[in-house]
Amino acid sequence: MKIESVDFFYLAMPEITTEADGSQDALLVRVTAGGHSGWGECEASPLVSIAGFVCPMSHGVCRPVGASVLGRTIESPADIARIAAEVEYNSMDLLQAAHTFSGVEMALWDLLGKVRGEPVWKLLGYSASHKKTPYASQLFGDEPHETYQGAVKARKDGFRAVKFGWGPIGRGRVESDEEHFRAAREGLGPDGILLVDVGQVWGEDVGAAAARLAALEATGAVWLEEPFHASALEAYGALARRSGKVKIAGGEGAHNVSMARHLIEYGGVGFIQIDCGRIGGIGPAKKVADYAAARNVTFVNHTFTSHLALSASLQPYAGLADHTICEFPFAPKPVAQEFTAKALQRDGNGEIAAPDAPGLGVEIDPEGVRKYLLDVEIKVSGRTLYVTPELI
If you ran DSSP here, which 8-state letter would residue 133 be given? E
Q: Which stretch binds a second copy (CB under 8 A): 148-156, 178-186, 359-367, 380-388?
A: 380-388
Contact pattern for a second copy over residues 189 through 228, marking x by CB under 8 A: ----------xx----------------------------
Task: Decide: is 62 part of the binding site for a second copy (CB under 8 A).
Answer: yes
Task: Give least dist CB 127 to a second copy, A.
Answer: 29
Question: Of the candidates 38, 52, 103, 270, which one interacts with a second copy according to CB under 8 A?
Answer: 52
Q: How far is the CB of 53 from a second copy (least distance, A)?
A: 9
- Our finding on whether 380 is near a second copy (CB under 8 A) is yes
What is the DSSP annotation of 234-302? HHHHHHHTT-TTSEEEE-TT--SHHHHHHHHHTT--SEEEE-TTTTTSHHHHHHHHHHHHTTT-EEEE-
Taking CB under 8 A as the binding criterion, the range among 21-29, 183-191, 336-344, 353-361 that sits at the site for a second copy is: 21-29
Contact in structure between 52 and 100 (CB atoms under 8 Å): yes
Cα–Cα distance measured from residue 212 to residue 203, given in angstroms and rounded to the nearest whole number = 15
Find the shortest distance in angstroms from Cβ 384 to a second copy. 9
Sheet holding 161-165, edge to edge: 298-301, 271-274, 247-250, 221-225, 193-197, 161-165, 133-139, 325-329
Spell out a b/e string for 13-39, using b for 16 or more CB atoms within 10 Å of the CB, else e.
beeeeeeebbbbbbbbbbbbbeebbbb
* Binding flag, residue 142, a second copy (CB under 8 A): no
Q: Which residues pair with 165 in a beta bridge?
A: 139, 197
Interstrand relation of 271-274 and 247-250 (parallel, antiparallel or unpaired): parallel
Q: Which residues contact 207 (CB under 8 A, 6 or more apart)?
A: none
Instruction: Give the Cα separation of 109 and 115 in Å (integer).
Output: 10
Stretch that binds a second copy, among 212-220, 286-294, 349-357, 374-382 (CB under 8 A): 374-382
Quick one: 122 or 255, whose CB is closer to a second copy?
255
CA 285 to CA 321: how far, in whole Å? 17
Binding mask 27-46 for a second copy (x = CB under 8 A): ----------------xxxx
Piece of 61-69, 172-180, 314-322, 352-360 that binds a second copy (CB under 8 A): 61-69
The verdict on 12 binding a second copy (CB under 8 A) reads yes
Write the DSSP assignment of 72-93 as a string of letters: -B-SSHHHHHHHHHHHHHHTTT
Range 310-369, binding a second copy (CB under 8 A): none
- Could you tell me how many residues of this chain bind a second copy (CB under 8 A)? 67
CB of 97 to a second copy, least distance (A): 8
Cα 255–Cα 123–Cα 317 angle in degrees, nearest 5:
50
- Measured CA to CA, the distance from residue 262 to residue 85 in angstroms comes to 20
Residue with smaller CB distance to a second copy, 171 or 342: 171
- Encoded one letter per residue, x for contact with a second copy by CB under 8 A and - for no contact, window 236-275 reads -----------------x-xx-xx-xx--xx---------
Smallest distance, a second copy to C-beta of residue 366, A? 20
CA–CA separation, 316 vs 300, rounded Å? 10
In whole angstroms, the minimum distance from the beta carbon of 183 to a second copy comes to 23
Q: According to CB under 8 A, which one of 22, 144, 358, 361 is a site residue for a second copy?
A: 22
Site for a second copy in 65-104 (CB under 8 A): 88-89, 92-96, 98-99
Among 5, 34, 58, 295, binds a second copy (CB under 8 A): 58
The answer to the question of residue 302 lying near a second copy (CB under 8 A) is no
Write out the residues near a second copy by the rule CB under 8 A: 10, 12, 16-22, 24-25, 43-48, 50-52, 54-63, 88-89, 92-96, 98-99, 199-200, 229-234, 253, 255-256, 258-259, 261-262, 265-266, 278, 374-382, 385
